[in-house]
Structure 1
Amino acid sequence: MAAADLNAPAPQPAGVPVLAIRDLDVRFRTGDGELRAVKGVSFDVAAGETLAIVGESGSGKSQTMMAVMGLLAANGAATGSVTVGGEEILGLSPRQLNRFRGRRLGMIFQEPMTSLDPLYRIGDQLAEPLLAHAGMSRKEARARALELLTLVGIPRPAERLDSYPHELSGGQRQRVMIAMALANRPEVLIADEPTTALDVTIQAQVLDLLADLKRRFGMAIVFITHDLGIVRRIADRVVVMKSGQIVETGRTEEVFAAPREAYTRMLLAAEPTGRKEPPPADAPPVVEARDVRVSFNLRKGWFGGGDRELVAVDGVDLLLRRGGTIGIVGESGSGKSTLGRAVLRLVPSSGTVRFEDRDLTSLDRSAMRPVRRRMQLVFQDPFGSLSPRMTVGEIITEGLLVHEPAITRAERNRRAAQALEEVSLDPASRNRFPHEFSGGQRQRIAIARTMILKPAVVVLDEPTSALDRSVQKEIVELLRDLQRRHGLSYLFISHDLAVVRAIADEIIVMKSGKVVERGTVDGIFRDAHEPYTQALIAAAFLSKEAGPAA
């Protein structure tokens, strides 16, 4: 394959869909019997079009395309028909499928850090599909890998060939995954939630890149997502899935203008809405931080040579009042999560942090323990923060064993039931394990774990970023309700400005460890002064205004 082929559209048979799916069923064998994840799904994808498959978690959208790629789990099986350019591929052996995977069908996965091998350099991983499918020599494959990194906009591509995945940012790793999927110029590119974990500005760049590559290559894109804003921006047609079935399909502009199904209307209305009441102007301060600074020593050599200091938080002030919410926004690496941990005294820092008129700066670990129950943290990934070996009841009451060891088991059970009711979960579910719950339910469990200790301040670190839009809306409404009932104060850390607008009173914008802008929610969204803030807002809301990409 000549280098010039990278910019040539792939030839397609006239009148034949590049991808056709008919009556696809996907079933999994489980300990509780057979689970039918995809139920009789049928649709076509034309050359050069972008088809979006949308739906909530568990709708079957990802399993549909995993069946197309022959990547179902060992306990899964698919029946029906899948053709690529008229050739049947469903039921082929892995060796036979390799004629199609990589060469005619490419796939980008949601989390590049788990898809890229941490032990291999980027150049070697890009070369692998070229060696396997294009018959190139290693020298030719390395030259093509450099060309691919340049194509997807990686800075200093020659240097990055010898980098490992952990040395790249999240956006750069996703670009590498795109380059790998494009290595053999496939006819169909399947993108499974490729922007979910990315900052809004990086998300916008990746979407622009995919639209540009589609124009250059004339390839089809199947874009799997739960974000309707992205669909409006990039898709020509939409397939809406629920419980393994297609409930609606049509041109993007038609589905958005006049959705026929109630489920589609619910998805379109799932953006977090409403506003919280600001605290009274005379509400007392709960947390006051002054000149907070956090730095890390980075060692470059085995013997400490070339050490340098990374300043993660650089002289930040904040004042959080009772019943108030400060939204802390910024891209990855801006220092927002580190600031939250510094306020909780979970990382070493300089400056002062006062909580309810008490200076926490000089307190050691033992002296901080009584304060901790009043200052709680909710993590981004509820599945990762909940022990899989403990029941929900044990998880929720774990803090009580530390802070109220004298209370009886019966009293702990009573409080666990009460905490679950507060977050709208069945108290009887406290004997189940985290894997038996959905993502939104697990986040409710994580919130119940904090609420049982009756905190005054809760730091919420990206608590909705891994959730469907409809579930995000539910969690935002839950947090606002808990705040009203208990007079809670929140530090809400997020890169999702739509969520921040629905829950915060004040916004702090961080970049490279510094606060570059702050103000009320209305003030920031109406009249942001800093170009960086303006770029964040534009990237977050552009997808809701733009039509399908060319």
Structure 2
Amino acid sequence: MADTKETILAVRGLKVNFSTPDGTVEAVKGIDLDVRTGETLAVVGESGSGKSQTMMGIMGLLAKNGTVTGSATYRGQELVGLPAKALNQVRGAKVTMIFQEPMTSLDPLYPVGRQIAEPIVHHRGGTFKQARARVLELLELVGIPEPARRIDSYPHELSGGQRQRVMIAMALANDPDLLIADEPTTALDVTIQAQILDLLKSLQKRFGMAIVLITHDLGIVKHFADRVAVMRRGEVVEKGTTADIFERPQADYTKMLLAAEPSGRKASPPDSAPIILEGRDVCVDYQIGGGLFRGGKSVFRAVDSVHLRLKEGQTIGVVGESGSGKSTLGRALLRLLPSSGHYRFGTTDISGFDRGQMRPLRRTLQLVFQDPYGSLSPRRTVGEIITEGLHVHEPELTRADRDRRASEALKEVGLDPASRNRYPHEFSGGQRQRIAIARAMILKPKVVILDEPTSALDRSVQGQVIELLRDLQRSHGLSYIFISHDLSVVKAMSDYVIVMKNGKIVEEGETDAIFEAPKQPYTKTLIGAAFNV
């Protein structure tokens, strides 16, 4: 049936190159693609495969050091090399694009209504005031609550899902023929992700537009796309219908991507395993409001009377949407922020411990952050970063001792010990996460809290990090608290799961019980959104 549809975008021999001080980088190496009316083409592959640069090249949005050659015709009109004035008649009108991170794509200085109105005024003429009715219609169309109020809101006043809906409204402003969606749901919780995908599907059906979906999440592709193009290192290695790609993949790389979905189960520790970390009646309050021109302060309870008991060798997965209190709970358990409740580490009651009393315990209670690039100092070498804790907890070590320990830690996480003299920006995202893990492991901890450690990684790299964490846990008898909104990763990593909402635990239990027979509607919604059931 798809073969009878008209091709609206034909890409032939497209190349994208970047001039760098080290020479020319070939980002896209002469690819061919077709997009047909009313269909969804998914372009998949790992970071650096050339997915986004292909579309940026077609849209004339490359960085100044980038060049595009070859052909990309939209309904017979060549876009490559088209003067900016002529290209602007197409992009933003007939071909539009929504980007991965709406917070960086939306201007923080202007209300979202004005930003949605901008392409309307540019392509249709008139004033911003005249475009207001169309903007309200668009906000309602994409499901923004109270559009008459939200039209004057600034981006920071909206949630992540609402900001992504604003981006979609902006892209739909002029009834496009083709919508390019570049990782439109990567930073969103699974329930919001499902809502955005359902919204795109319904809008596609309503307006008959074609969609190019750029993503590394094959779970989304399987349920959303009609056809798939698989990219690797700037080349298309395989393309076909979604059913063919998932059921009968031909390229080894495609098979690897499909096999990279998190799998396996973690066995529970024996019932006799001792409790290594416990928090009872954990509460965390934040004061909000107040200030010179504002009213009195109010209290927001981020974590509300939570009980958690972690056994030696156990992995507890903590899941829930953004704002559910997952990360705050993790920091409270490590006594890194003011909180109330009763805390015990092993046989020691640490409820009343101050910073000085907690300091000797820090080496055995470690935290690995979500964004390794943000948590690794760009001014220090990897060796200096990894050994930072040794200066505090083992000050008697010589420089040679620390260097040896850094080499051992890097080797244990699968990195070349010689890389300890390099800087974080010289490593990939997956490698940076391994460095962050090495920084924690060098101190020989007993408990590690992992806060979204794989959310920013490609599926194949996620799989490698998960295997690494499993190996380290087996080798050192570690106990993990694994915080994530990615339920497939939690399912593979954890033997016990806690589901949080609005600071409270709404359901908990053995992993299989939670995923196969959830009792609470909220848990059922999370699992349904994550696994498309």
- TM interval, shorter chain, is over 0.9
Q: How does 1:178-327 map to 2 (within 5 A)?
A: 178-299=168-289, 302-327=292-317
**Bigger shift: residues 440-449 or 300-309:** 300-309
The corresponding residue for 1:418 is 408
The corresponding residue for 1:490 is 480
1:17–1:86 contact (8 Å) kept in structure 2: no
Give 1:277 shift: 2.2
The corresponding residue for 2:165 is 175
Aligned-partner SS, 1:18: strand
Counting matched residue pairs gives 530
**Bigger shift: residues 358-367 or 377-386:** 358-367
Unmatched 5+ residue regions in structure 1?
1-13, 546-550
Spell out, residue by residue over 1:114-161, the C-alpha distance to the aligned partner (whole angstroms, 9 max, x if none). Answer: 111122111111111112122132222121111111000011111111
User: Structure 2: how far apart are the matches of 1:125 and 1:396?
Assistant: 44
User: Structure 1: how far apart are the matches of 2:365 and 2:133?
Assistant: 54
The corresponding residue for 1:356 is 346
Q: How does 1:46-65 map to 2 (within 5 A)?
A: 46-65=36-55
User: Structure 1: how far apart are the matches of 2:338 and 2:87?
Assistant: 53
Give 1:306 shift: 4.6
The corresponding residue for 1:519 is 509
The corresponding residue for 1:128 is 118
User: Structure 2: how far apart are the matches of 1:374 and 1:93?
Assistant: 61
User: Structure 1: how far apart are the matches of 2:164 and 2:210?
Assistant: 19
User: Structure 1: how far apart are the matches of 2:84 and 2:301?
Assistant: 49
Aligned-partner SS, 2:360: helix
User: Structure 1: how far apart are the matches of 2:316 and 2:466?
Assistant: 14
Give 1:15 shift: 7.4
Amino acid at match of 1:158: A
User: Structure 1: how far apart are the matches of 2:190 and 2:256?
Assistant: 23
Matched, 1:82 2:72: yes
Amino acid at match of 1:498: S
2:97–2:182 contact (8 Å) kept in structure 1: yes
User: Structure 2: how far apart are the matches of 1:289 and 1:93?
Assistant: 63
User: Structure 2: how far apart are the matches of 1:405 and 1:187?
Assistant: 64
**Bigger shift: residues 293-302 or 83-92:** 293-302
Unmatched 5+ residue regions in structure 2?
none
1:193–1:225 contact (8 Å) kept in structure 2: yes
User: Structure 1: how far apart are the matches of 2:60 and 2:483?
Assistant: 38
User: Structure 2: how far apart are the matches of 1:541 and 1:131?
Assistant: 41
User: Structure 2: how far apart are the matches of 1:157 and 1:93?
Assistant: 37
User: Structure 1: how far apart are the matches of 2:519 and 2:49?
Assistant: 42
User: Structure 1: how far apart are the matches of 2:95 and 2:293?
Assistant: 47
Amino acid at match of 1:114: T
Moved over 4 A (4+): none
Spell out, residue by residue over 1:283-327, the C-alpha distance to the aligned partner (whole angstroms, 9 max, x if none). Answer: 111111000001111105634405322111000000001111110
Aligned-partner SS, 1:125: helix
Amino acid at match of 2:451: D
Q: How does 1:81-120 map to 2 (within 5 A)?
A: 81-120=71-110
1:16–1:86 contact (8 Å) kept in structure 2: no
CA-based RMSD: 1.3
Give 1:274 shift: 1.1
User: Structure 2: how far apart are the matches of 1:218 and 1:301?
Assistant: 50
Spell out, residue by residue over 1:406-450, the C-alpha distance to the aligned partner (whole angstroms, 9 max, x if none). Answer: 311111110111001110111111111112111111111110010
Give 1:17 shift: 2.2
User: Structure 2: how far apart are the matches of 1:166 and 1:336?
Assistant: 22
Matched, 1:504 2:494: yes
User: Structure 1: how far apart are the matches of 2:518 and 2:276?
Assistant: 27
1:16–1:85 contact (8 Å) kept in structure 2: no
Question: What fraction of aligned residue pairs are identical, expressed as a percent?
Answer: 67
Q: How does 1:290-439 map to 2 (within 5 A)?
A: 290-299=280-289, 302-439=292-429
User: Structure 2: how far apart are the matches of 1:380 and 1:15?
Assistant: 43
